Amino acid sequence: MLLQFLCLSLVAHLALAHNTLLGPWQKSCFFEDMKKGDELAVSFQVGNRDPNSADQPDVDFWITGPHNNRLYTLTRVADGDASIQIETPGQYEYCFSNEYTSIGTKDVTFHVHGVVYVDPDDAAREPLDYEVRSLSHLVQEVKNEQAYIVIRERVHRNTAESTNSRVKWWSVFQLLVVAANSLFQIYYLKRFFEVKTTV
Protein backbone atom coordinates (compact mmCIF):
# COMPACT_ATOMS: atom_id res chain seq x y z
CA MET A 1 0.00 0.00 0.00
CA LEU A 2 2.84 2.38 0.83
CA LEU A 3 4.45 1.65 -2.55
CA GLN A 4 1.20 2.52 -4.33
CA PHE A 5 0.89 5.77 -2.40
CA LEU A 6 4.48 6.74 -3.24
CA CYS A 7 3.94 5.95 -6.92
CA LEU A 8 0.74 7.99 -6.96
CA SER A 9 2.49 10.92 -5.24
CA LEU A 10 5.36 10.74 -7.70
CA VAL A 11 3.04 10.78 -10.71
CA ALA A 12 0.99 13.65 -9.26
CA HIS A 13 4.10 15.80 -8.71
CA LEU A 14 5.73 15.04 -12.05
CA ALA A 15 3.52 17.46 -13.96
CA LEU A 16 3.87 20.94 -12.49
CA ALA A 17 2.50 24.24 -13.77
CA HIS A 18 4.92 27.16 -13.84
CA ASN A 19 4.78 30.79 -14.85
CA THR A 20 7.60 33.12 -15.89
CA LEU A 21 7.72 36.71 -17.12
CA LEU A 22 10.06 37.52 -20.01
CA GLY A 23 11.06 41.15 -20.42
CA PRO A 24 12.53 42.59 -23.62
CA TRP A 25 15.86 41.00 -24.60
CA GLN A 26 15.56 38.27 -21.93
CA LYS A 27 15.53 34.50 -21.80
CA SER A 28 14.60 32.10 -19.05
CA CYS A 29 16.00 28.56 -18.79
CA PHE A 30 15.07 25.60 -16.61
CA PHE A 31 16.79 22.28 -15.94
CA GLU A 32 15.58 18.70 -15.44
CA ASP A 33 17.64 15.65 -14.46
CA MET A 34 16.48 12.75 -16.63
CA LYS A 35 17.30 9.05 -16.89
CA LYS A 36 17.45 6.88 -19.98
CA GLY A 37 13.99 5.86 -21.13
CA ASP A 38 12.24 8.86 -19.53
CA GLU A 39 10.22 11.31 -21.59
CA LEU A 40 10.50 15.08 -21.20
CA ALA A 41 7.38 16.90 -22.38
CA VAL A 42 6.80 20.65 -22.09
CA SER A 43 3.62 22.46 -23.12
CA PHE A 44 3.40 26.25 -22.98
CA GLN A 45 1.24 29.26 -23.80
CA VAL A 46 2.42 32.86 -24.16
CA GLY A 47 0.13 35.64 -22.94
CA ASN A 48 0.19 39.34 -22.28
CA ARG A 49 -0.93 40.91 -19.00
CA ASP A 50 -1.38 44.35 -20.58
CA PRO A 51 -5.14 44.89 -21.08
CA ASN A 52 -4.49 47.55 -23.75
CA SER A 53 -2.52 45.20 -25.98
CA ALA A 54 -4.30 43.36 -28.78
CA ASP A 55 -1.16 41.61 -30.02
CA GLN A 56 -0.55 37.89 -29.60
CA PRO A 57 2.98 37.68 -28.18
CA ASP A 58 5.40 34.96 -29.23
CA VAL A 59 8.67 33.47 -27.97
CA ASP A 60 11.44 31.13 -29.09
CA PHE A 61 11.70 27.75 -27.34
CA TRP A 62 14.33 25.04 -27.35
CA ILE A 63 15.46 21.93 -25.47
CA THR A 64 19.18 21.27 -25.04
CA GLY A 65 20.71 17.89 -24.14
CA PRO A 66 23.45 17.10 -21.61
CA HIS A 67 26.16 17.65 -24.25
CA ASN A 68 24.82 21.16 -25.04
CA ASN A 69 23.25 20.02 -28.33
CA ARG A 70 19.82 21.32 -29.32
CA LEU A 71 17.28 18.53 -29.51
CA TYR A 72 14.11 20.51 -30.17
CA THR A 73 13.51 24.07 -31.42
CA LEU A 74 10.42 26.23 -31.97
CA THR A 75 10.77 29.77 -33.34
CA ARG A 76 8.34 32.67 -32.78
CA VAL A 77 5.40 30.66 -31.48
CA ALA A 78 2.55 31.70 -29.18
CA ASP A 79 2.04 28.20 -27.81
CA GLY A 80 3.53 24.77 -28.25
CA ASP A 81 4.01 21.20 -27.14
CA ALA A 82 7.46 19.64 -27.15
CA SER A 83 8.28 16.06 -26.28
CA ILE A 84 11.54 14.12 -26.46
CA GLN A 85 12.57 10.60 -25.48
CA ILE A 86 15.68 10.53 -23.31
CA GLU A 87 18.49 8.44 -24.79
CA THR A 88 21.37 9.87 -22.76
CA PRO A 89 20.95 10.34 -19.01
CA GLY A 90 21.89 13.74 -17.63
CA GLN A 91 20.73 17.30 -17.17
CA TYR A 92 18.42 18.66 -19.87
CA GLU A 93 17.73 22.37 -20.32
CA TYR A 94 14.67 24.02 -21.85
CA CYS A 95 14.56 27.75 -22.53
CA PHE A 96 12.02 30.43 -23.42
CA SER A 97 13.54 33.41 -25.21
CA ASN A 98 12.43 36.97 -25.91
CA GLU A 99 15.98 37.99 -26.83
CA TYR A 100 15.27 39.27 -30.32
CA THR A 101 12.41 41.66 -29.60
CA SER A 102 11.98 44.85 -27.66
CA ILE A 103 8.24 44.29 -27.20
CA GLY A 104 7.05 44.49 -23.59
CA THR A 105 6.91 41.79 -20.99
CA LYS A 106 5.52 38.41 -22.05
CA ASP A 107 3.83 36.01 -19.66
CA VAL A 108 4.77 32.36 -20.30
CA THR A 109 2.76 29.66 -18.56
CA PHE A 110 4.17 26.18 -19.02
CA HIS A 111 3.72 22.63 -17.80
CA VAL A 112 6.50 20.08 -17.51
CA HIS A 113 5.45 16.48 -17.84
CA GLY A 114 8.16 14.11 -16.67
CA VAL A 115 7.10 10.65 -17.67
CA VAL A 116 9.25 8.16 -15.80
CA TYR A 117 10.07 4.99 -17.69
CA VAL A 118 8.26 1.99 -16.24
CA ASP A 119 8.99 -1.61 -17.19
CA PRO A 120 6.04 -3.02 -19.21
CA ASP A 121 6.09 -6.16 -17.04
CA ASP A 122 5.00 -4.00 -14.09
CA ALA A 123 1.56 -3.56 -15.67
CA ALA A 124 1.01 -7.31 -15.48
CA ARG A 125 2.11 -7.46 -11.84
CA GLU A 126 0.33 -4.33 -10.60
CA PRO A 127 -2.73 -3.61 -12.80
CA LEU A 128 -4.20 -1.20 -10.25
CA ASP A 129 -0.99 0.84 -10.16
CA TYR A 130 -0.95 0.97 -13.95
CA GLU A 131 -4.58 2.16 -14.09
CA VAL A 132 -3.97 4.81 -11.41
CA ARG A 133 -0.96 6.15 -13.35
CA SER A 134 -2.98 6.18 -16.56
CA LEU A 135 -5.89 7.98 -14.90
CA SER A 136 -3.55 10.50 -13.28
CA HIS A 137 -2.00 11.25 -16.67
CA LEU A 138 -5.44 11.85 -18.21
CA VAL A 139 -6.50 14.14 -15.35
CA GLN A 140 -3.29 16.14 -15.76
CA GLU A 141 -3.97 16.55 -19.49
CA VAL A 142 -7.45 17.94 -18.70
CA LYS A 143 -5.91 20.33 -16.15
CA ASN A 144 -3.35 21.53 -18.71
CA GLU A 145 -6.07 22.15 -21.30
CA GLN A 146 -8.06 24.18 -18.77
CA ALA A 147 -4.98 26.30 -18.00
CA TYR A 148 -4.52 26.83 -21.75
CA ILE A 149 -8.16 27.94 -22.07
CA VAL A 150 -7.73 30.43 -19.20
CA ILE A 151 -4.74 32.03 -20.93
CA ARG A 152 -6.54 32.15 -24.29
CA GLU A 153 -9.51 33.80 -22.55
CA ARG A 154 -7.15 36.43 -21.07
CA VAL A 155 -5.70 37.18 -24.52
CA HIS A 156 -9.16 37.43 -26.10
CA ARG A 157 -10.44 39.64 -23.26
CA ASN A 158 -7.45 41.99 -23.74
CA THR A 159 -8.22 42.15 -27.47
CA ALA A 160 -11.91 42.87 -26.84
CA GLU A 161 -11.14 45.59 -24.27
CA SER A 162 -8.66 47.22 -26.62
CA THR A 163 -11.22 47.16 -29.45
CA ASN A 164 -13.94 48.58 -27.17
CA SER A 165 -11.63 51.42 -26.15
CA ARG A 166 -10.89 52.28 -29.78
CA VAL A 167 -14.59 52.21 -30.70
CA LYS A 168 -15.39 54.48 -27.73
CA TRP A 169 -12.80 57.10 -28.74
CA TRP A 170 -13.89 56.93 -32.39
CA SER A 171 -17.51 57.55 -31.28
CA VAL A 172 -16.45 60.56 -29.18
CA PHE A 173 -14.54 61.95 -32.17
CA GLN A 174 -17.59 61.48 -34.44
CA LEU A 175 -19.82 63.19 -31.88
CA LEU A 176 -17.47 66.20 -31.76
CA VAL A 177 -17.38 66.39 -35.57
CA VAL A 178 -21.21 66.30 -35.78
CA ALA A 179 -21.52 68.96 -33.04
CA ALA A 180 -18.97 71.23 -34.77
CA ASN A 181 -20.73 70.75 -38.11
CA SER A 182 -24.12 71.61 -36.55
CA LEU A 183 -22.75 74.79 -34.95
CA PHE A 184 -21.16 75.82 -38.24
CA GLN A 185 -24.44 75.27 -40.16
CA ILE A 186 -26.46 77.23 -37.58
CA TYR A 187 -23.99 80.11 -37.71
CA TYR A 188 -23.89 80.08 -41.53
CA LEU A 189 -27.67 79.94 -41.98
CA LYS A 190 -28.21 82.64 -39.36
CA ARG A 191 -25.76 84.87 -41.21
CA PHE A 192 -27.44 84.08 -44.51
CA PHE A 193 -30.87 85.28 -43.33
CA GLU A 194 -29.69 88.41 -41.55
CA VAL A 195 -31.09 91.60 -43.00
CA LYS A 196 -28.45 94.23 -43.51
CA THR A 197 -29.70 97.78 -43.31
CA THR A 198 -27.86 100.63 -44.84
CA VAL A 199 -28.36 104.16 -43.64
CA angle 112, 15, 40 (to 5 degrees): 45
Mean predicted confidence (pLDDT) in 63-85: 91
Q: What percent of the chain has pLDDT over 90?
A: 27
Alpha-carbon distance of 10 to 116, in angstroms, equals 9
CA dihedral 91, 96, 97, 101 (to 10 degrees): 180
Alpha-carbon distance of 99 to 25, in angstroms, equals 4
CA–CA distances in Å: residue 136 to residues 15, 39, 149: 10, 16, 20
pTM: 0.55
At 5 the pLDDT is: 42
What's the pLDDT tens digit per position in 136-151?
A: 888 888 888 888 888 8
What's the pLDDT tens digit per position in 146-186?
A: 888 888 888 888 889 989 999 999 999 999 999 999 999 99
Cβ 79 vs Cβ 91: under 8 Å: no
Give me the domains of the chain, ranges plus CATH numbers: 2-155 (2.60.120.680)
